[in-house]
Structure 1
Amino acid sequence: MNSKISTLTKGQIIDDKYSVSFFLKKGTYAETYRVQNEAKEIKFLKLFDFAKLHRTQFTESGDLLEIEILKKISHPNIAKYNASGYTMIDNQKFAYVVLDFISGETLADKMKREEKLTSYEAKNIVLSVLNGLNYLHTLPNSVIHNDITIQNIMLDLSGKVEIPKIIDFGYSRFLTQSNKDFLKEGLNLFYTANETLNKVFSVQSDIFSVGALYYHLVTGLPPYFIEISKYKSDKIQLEESILEQRQKPLKFPEHIDGHTKLIISKALQPKSENRFKSVNEFLKILNGDLEVELSVPEEKAQKSYEKEKKKGKGFSAIAGMSALKAQLQLDVIDALHNSEEYAKYGVTIPNGMLLYGPPGCGKTFFAKHFAEEVGFNYVHVNPGTLKSRYVNATEENISKLFQEAEKNAPTIIFIEEISGLFPSRDSDAHEMSKNAVEAMLAEMDRTGEKGIFVLCATNYPDKIDAALLRAGRLDKKVYLSPPDFEARMAMFEMYLKSRPIDLGLDYELLAKLTENYVSSDIKDLIVDEASRFALKAKSKITMKILEEVISRTRPSVSLLELEKYEIIRKKIEGEDSIISDRPTIGFKK
């Protein structure tokens, strides 16, 4: 059956009610058809292949979530539900939903033909989409669409006036649903809000998508557009590059008026709290009933790097790791503060340090608090900040980064996931990546003498070019493992103390139950999920709720993966061990 163009054939009868007229489109888990009902009316049928659906696409009772949402909604700017059911085809179970057939074209088809729309036409389409979303968001059980794009807006051309209608609720979720029940694979990343890339969806996520839609309509391209073909299957790198682009100011053609620019800019703010608070507010501003104000100054978004003097708790926010803290205090922090005294003894700060270990163990967290402890200039970059598709541009970006760091010395440069930026030159890495490695090696020559300390983090230390790990470059290498028992206790207490908790929570038991769970598991998968559960039940966060959430939650890093990291750690520390005891990451109250 997989080799067929479509599962259904012309004239085939579904559930004794619908006759297939012709096949429309095939997706990853569903196919769409034009059909006729018993009254010979033209309808739209979507056929779901159970074998290809993901578990997150079902409700707790086992019903198909998309169909259950469509059953509950009805609005002039949303495709209208007619019926649904189940059918067997070649001994395989399928679900189907029948909607009104919309006689017209998708907004994507219109854009292919016209490239971009007038401000007036774009505004009217956006108003219709917002009206539909306002209805969804204000339902008793709010629905978030999560996939507003030019492909998912149909233009009904059957009457005298063009009517935009929202279609395809495949990524839609009830606002009350857990973020774990969300599969982001397949989303159009140019329309996807920053938080949704982390599987967090909200009213503001849909607002971001409408802002992206508005921008696309008036300019002809999605916002912060980059060529995605070079990323191939590297989705993480693609996401990072898009997020990096969003740190830059939006570019608008000259013909776009200032009011429209402000509206789109506010909808597309990277931080959800800086966008419109609701679709209704978006509607009022678009209709001229309210004034629009950006929540953040535009010049803030024009920084190419996050460069600031870090203030905060510093090392006091990190539990354990006393040997590492003491060594960094002596070798780095004191050297930065007393450079002349150190110079008398011919001692300079080391060039750099590598933090490595499983995902979610707090590498970025440690880097942040290390910078706070030092208190000097801090530059935070990721591969997307430095990488460029243009010849020699990456090397120029690296050179500029170090020039600015030296100018503002003493400076800490923190580079995330350097394995993606400086892969081994012995691998099949692209020639441009190899050139980037050589540029980085040249810049790291005597950085300590220049008042620059390079702090790097990665989940894949075995994929970094070996030359970067030698003495005089990333001298120090620190393995950050899942938090130990004491750290887990402290984390539960810290994350729960400001929430409505029941008396007598057993933090020791919670720590025992979460052996091998990483820091992000405890915060995001357990504490946050327990909070959502308690909120829904209108109760305090109890021990019973926490234990139940833990019982349903597996560690995000498997024991097999941890064993692999142990092998890598032994190999690295055997070559250049910095301390006798393995440091562990944790948090203090």
Structure 2
Amino acid sequence: MLEKKKIGPYTIVFPIKTGKYAETFRVVDEKGNKRFLKLFNLAKLKNTQYEQTIENITEINIVKSLSHINIVSYIDSGEVVYEGQRCIYMVCDFIVGETLFQKIKREGYCSVYDLKRIISGVLNGLKYLHKRDIPIIHNGLTPESIMLDMTSNMSTAKIIDFGHAQYLESRNKSFYSDGLNLFYMAPEMFKGLYSTRTDLYSVGVMMYHLLFGTLPWYVDLSKVPTQDRIARVIEERKSPLKIPNLNIFELDDNLLNIVVKAVSQDVDERFQNVNDFLRALNGESEVPKASYIKVDVTGVISKEEKRTKVEKGNGFADVAGLDELKYRLNTEVIDLIRFPEKYKKLKVKIPNGMLLYGPPGCGKTFIAEKFAEELRCNYMYVHCSDVASPYIHGGQEKIAAVFEQAKENAPTILFLDELDAMITDRSKHTSVSEYGEVNEFLTHLNNCAENKVFVIGATNNPKAIDPAALRSGRFDIKMYVPAPDEKNRKLLFELYLKDISDESIDYDELVKQSEGFVSKDISTLVNRAAILTAQADKDKISMDALITALEKSKGELPSISAEILKQHEKIHEEFGDNKNNNRPKIGFTSYSSIE
């Protein structure tokens, strides 16, 4: 076995990213602690704003001086010779979680509730940077420079990657702009200028991206020569801002006005500082009506379209495996709903609901949709943000309205996503309003089956749910949905590669290489291999294409760390939905994309 490479006292686990003058690695220190290490090649730094001594590398000096919950933590730095090159390294704390970019790719959307929470964290980090004795401008904010720390129940946004950061006092000097995302750059940055409002512009673009799944003033640059791309972006921004005409729950006019103000091309029309931005985001101030154009978009599924999709779907015919789950749902729920008179004679009670829990990306939302398709009944998707309200008792009114709508359109499958944020343990509540909202949920759960409403709740953290919701008569059925094991990973690969791969595929090797992958990761990997195959003008995906996709995905896939998966297995053991029976874990395979 080859000895792993070292950088100073740190052992390389695997490379994450390679840039023009630096490489990033996941490493472990001498005590076995995981860390992130950035290695600066001094020879390649000659053409940047950096000097060749450790004392004058701006990024290290900046990160070393920072200490804030919403900013990555500095650990160490030093000078080494690596592969015959004189280098300087900087080590930061390892963050258990994923980038905001990975979250968007995995989930495909961001609720208004999540957006406000994430953006508030980013703004608080910027406030710390901008309010220092010598203000610091990040200059490179994108979803890839925001890490979501998942060590607690609620993920914390942390600003990372200070490769383009500068002190405000240096704003008359040019800054390193190679590799910046042009769509996130404020107009003045194209002239080499930056300020605190430059960062706020990037936050506005981030909000637009999270809400609508695209970028403001987006234009395809793939066929535009590199030297002409900035001019093309500047030209596109001369047109009015377009807002996709989507039915996004909780997207009120004030939030929309915040986004439009933040991405104004006129620096004086933007938010003047972080405090103004935060006050508007928290609803403490109202932003004047903004000017924009509403446009229809394609390729985005609204809630109404999603319902139609569910009603016309193939149900369990799309699902391979999951025999126990399908059997239980057919015998314990579906038959009772389809043939109520048959069971009414024997006074059989329909269960009120089912709880699906486990790590993200393993198919909880998918299972709920396929169940609704099987029944061909009304399907309602409700995210925790859909029942949130800034007003006292406002949340209770929304909860009551949701159940009333489900009752009116019965039989209904009511899917509650992120259930732990809706029915949080009341012993941890400090707000009378929040306590009342949990009571409201419990009241409606008591008799929902009598009204032909079956509730499916999904959560990554069942232990945070109020115990009363988990008692018999509410969420009667509990299912743990884990990351797929070797058998199911192989079947997933076979399903996704069916009819689109050649005979070179080594499924056993793919299973070995995909340890720790959740279902969504496998779907993503096959899709990336398909793109590589198309770019090579080939008709079938080869094993080489999959291996190349795996190499390119290092640091990004698996999207869920081994630590988090172990945490979920521990939760499963402690939660103990199988303590009184020998039911196996579910496992998951599907012919369709997994959400």
Global fold match (TM > 0.5): yes
Task: Please state how far the C-alpha of 1:90 moved relative to its aligned partner.
Answer: 6.7
Q: Distance in 2 between matches of 1:335 and 1:441?
A: 23
Q: Give, as a single letter, the amino acid of the residue that structure 2 aligns with 1:147.
A: Y
Q: Give, as a single letter, the amino acid of the residue that structure 2 aligns with 1:529.
A: R
1:87 lines up with 2:87 in the alignment: no
Closer, same or farther: CA 360–344 of 1 in aligned 2, 3 Å:
same
Alignment of 1:500-515 (within 5 A): 501-515=501-515
Q: Distance in 1 between matches of 2:485 and 2:428?
A: 35
* 1:447-477 CA-partner distances (Å, limit 9, x unpaired): 1111010001011111111111111111111
Task: Please state how far the C-alpha of 1:362 moved relative to its aligned partner.
Answer: 0.8
Task: Please state how far the C-alpha of 1:84 moved relative to its aligned partner.
Answer: 6.0
Q: Distance in 1 between matches of 2:366 and 2:240?
A: 31
Task: Please state how far the C-alpha of 1:585 moved relative to its aligned partner.
Answer: 1.3
1:190 lines up with 2:207 in the alignment: yes
Closer, same or farther: CA 330–214 of 1 in aligned 2, 3 Å:
closer
Task: Please state how far the C-alpha of 1:355 moved relative to its aligned partner.
Answer: 0.4
Alignment of 1:369-380 (within 5 A): 369-380=370-381
Specify the alignment match of 1:59 in structure 2. 19
Q: Distance in 2 between matches of 1:361 and 1:353?
A: 16
1:581 lines up with 2:584 in the alignment: yes
Q: Give, as a single letter, the amino acid of the residue that structure 2 aligns with 1:357.
A: G
* 1:250-304 CA-partner distances (Å, limit 9, x unpaired): x997x98xxx7xxx2217x4x5x47xxxxxxxxxxxxxxxxxxxxx9xxx78x69
Q: Give, as a single letter, the amino acid of the residue that structure 1 aligns with 2:584.
A: D
- The structure showing larger relative contact order (alpha-carbon pairs under 8 Å, at least 6 residues apart) is 2
User: Matched residue of 1:359: which SS?
Assistant: coil
User: Matched residue of 1:504: which SS?
Assistant: coil
Gap runs ≥5 in structure 1: 1-54, 65-82, 96-141, 156-163, 171-183, 233-238, 243-250, 275-295
Specify the alignment match of 1:533 in structure 2. 532
Among candidates 199, 223, 235, match of residue 256 of structure 2: 223
Q: Distance in 2 between matches of 1:390 and 1:398?
A: 13
CA contact under 8 A between 1:491 and 1:587: conserved in structure 2? yes
1:477 lines up with 2:440 in the alignment: no
Alignment of 1:88-103 (within 5 A): 88=51, 91-94=55-58
Closer, same or farther: CA 305–225 of 1 in aligned 2, 3 Å:
farther
Task: Please state how far the C-alpha of 1:315 moved relative to its aligned partner.
Answer: 1.5
User: Matched residue of 1:265: which SS?
Assistant: strand
Task: Please state how far the C-alpha of 1:519 moved relative to its aligned partner.
Answer: 0.6
Closer, same or farther: CA 307–388 of 1 in aligned 2, 3 Å:
farther
CA contact under 8 A between 2:360 and 2:460: conserved in structure 1? yes
CA contact under 8 A between 1:336 and 1:451: conserved in structure 2? yes
CA contact under 8 A between 1:445 and 1:473: conserved in structure 2? yes
Q: Distance in 1 between matches of 2:362 and 2:456?
A: 16
Among candidates 153, 162, 169, match of residue 187 of structure 2: 153
Gap runs ≥5 in structure 2: 1-14, 25-45, 60-178, 222-232, 245-251, 263-273, 275-280
Specify the alignment match of 1:520 in structure 2. 520
1:265 lines up with 2:294 in the alignment: yes
Task: Please state how far the C-alpha of 1:317 moved relative to its aligned partner.
Answer: 1.9
Q: Distance in 2 between matches of 1:465 and 1:209?
A: 49
Q: Percent identity?
A: 28
CA contact under 8 A between 2:497 and 2:526: conserved in structure 1? yes
Closer, same or farther: CA 85–583 of 1 in aligned 2, 3 Å:
closer
1:546 lines up with 2:583 in the alignment: no
Q: Distance in 2 between matches of 1:208 and 1:429?
A: 49
Alignment of 1:320-339 (within 5 A): 320-339=321-340
Task: Please state how far the C-alpha of 1:432 moved relative to its aligned partner.
Answer: 2.8
Closer, same or farther: CA 348–225 of 1 in aligned 2, 3 Å:
farther
User: Matched residue of 1:326: which SS?
Assistant: helix
Closer, same or farther: CA 86–189 of 1 in aligned 2, 3 Å:
closer
User: Matched residue of 2:458: which SS?
Assistant: strand
Q: Distance in 2 between matches of 1:518 and 1:509?
A: 17
1:445 lines up with 2:405 in the alignment: no
Q: Distance in 2 between matches of 1:317 and 1:210?
A: 47
Task: Please state how far the C-alpha of 1:439 moved relative to its aligned partner.
Answer: 0.6
Task: Please state how far the C-alpha of 1:546 moved relative to its aligned partner.
Answer: 1.3
Specify the alignment match of 1:115 in structure 2. none
Closer, same or farther: CA 441–225 of 1 in aligned 2, 3 Å:
farther
* 1:407-451 CA-partner distances (Å, limit 9, x unpaired): 111111001111122211122554432221111001111111110
Closer, same or farther: CA 220–513 of 1 in aligned 2, 3 Å:
closer
Closer, same or farther: CA 574–536 of 1 in aligned 2, 3 Å:
closer
User: Matched residue of 2:184: which SS?
Assistant: coil
User: Matched residue of 1:91: which SS?
Assistant: helix
Specify the alignment match of 1:402 in structure 2. 403
* 1:184-240 CA-partner distances (Å, limit 9, x unpaired): 995644322547589xx9749x99999994679xx99662759x9xxx9xxxxxx9x
CA contact under 8 A between 1:423 and 1:464: conserved in structure 2? yes
Task: Please state how far the C-alpha of 1:534 moved relative to its aligned partner.
Answer: 3.5
Closer, same or farther: CA 556–85 of 1 in aligned 2, 3 Å:
closer
Alignment of 1:84-163 (within 5 A): 85-88=48-51, 91-94=55-58, 145-147=182-184, 152-154=186-188
CA contact under 8 A between 2:310 and 2:369: conserved in structure 1? no
Q: Give, as a single letter, the amino acid of the residue that structure 2 aligns with 1:59.
A: G
Closer, same or farther: CA 185–58 of 1 in aligned 2, 3 Å:
farther
Task: Please state how far the C-alpha of 1:57 moved relative to its aligned partner.
Answer: 8.5
Closer, same or farther: CA 584–195 of 1 in aligned 2, 3 Å:
farther
Q: Give, as a single letter, the amino acid of the residue that structure 1 aligns with 2:489.
A: R
TM-score by length of 1: 0.56
CA contact under 8 A between 2:310 and 2:370: conserved in structure 1? no
**Displacement over 6 Å in runs of 4+:** 164-170, 206-212
Specify the alignment match of 2:351 in structure 1. 350
User: Matched residue of 1:223: which SS?
Assistant: helix
Task: Please state how far the C-alpha of 1:346 moved relative to its aligned partner.
Answer: 0.6
Specify the alignment match of 1:559 in structure 2. 562
Task: Please state how far the C-alpha of 1:351 moved relative to its aligned partner.
Answer: 0.4
Closer, same or farther: CA 210–371 of 1 in aligned 2, 3 Å:
farther
Q: Distance in 2 between matches of 1:425 and 1:211?
A: 50
Closer, same or farther: CA 165–409 of 1 in aligned 2, 3 Å:
farther
* 1:543-585 CA-partner distances (Å, limit 9, x unpaired): 1231243355342233332232222212333576566212111
CA contact under 8 A between 1:410 and 1:451: conserved in structure 2? yes
User: Matched residue of 1:541: which SS?
Assistant: coil
User: Matched residue of 2:415: which SS?
Assistant: strand
Closer, same or farther: CA 456–62 of 1 in aligned 2, 3 Å:
same
Q: Distance in 1 between matches of 2:406 and 2:183?
A: 40
Task: Please state how far the C-alpha of 1:516 moved relative to its aligned partner.
Answer: 2.7
Specify the alignment match of 1:420 in structure 2. 421
Q: Give, as a single letter, the amino acid of the residue that structure 1 aligns with 2:209.
A: T
CA contact under 8 A between 2:415 and 2:456: conserved in structure 1? yes
Closer, same or farther: CA 185–252 of 1 in aligned 2, 3 Å:
closer
Q: Distance in 2 between matches of 1:154 and 1:360?
A: 39
Closer, same or farther: CA 357–90 of 1 in aligned 2, 3 Å:
closer
Closer, same or farther: CA 382–212 of 1 in aligned 2, 3 Å:
farther
CA contact under 8 A between 1:319 and 1:587: conserved in structure 2? yes
User: Matched residue of 1:444: which SS?
Assistant: helix
Q: Give, as a single letter, the amino acid of the residue that structure 2 aligns with 1:494.
A: L
CA contact under 8 A between 1:479 and 1:582: conserved in structure 2? yes
Q: Distance in 2 between matches of 1:208 and 1:418?
A: 42
Q: Give, as a single letter, the amino acid of the residue that structure 1 aligns with 2:541.
A: I
TM-score by length of 2: 0.55
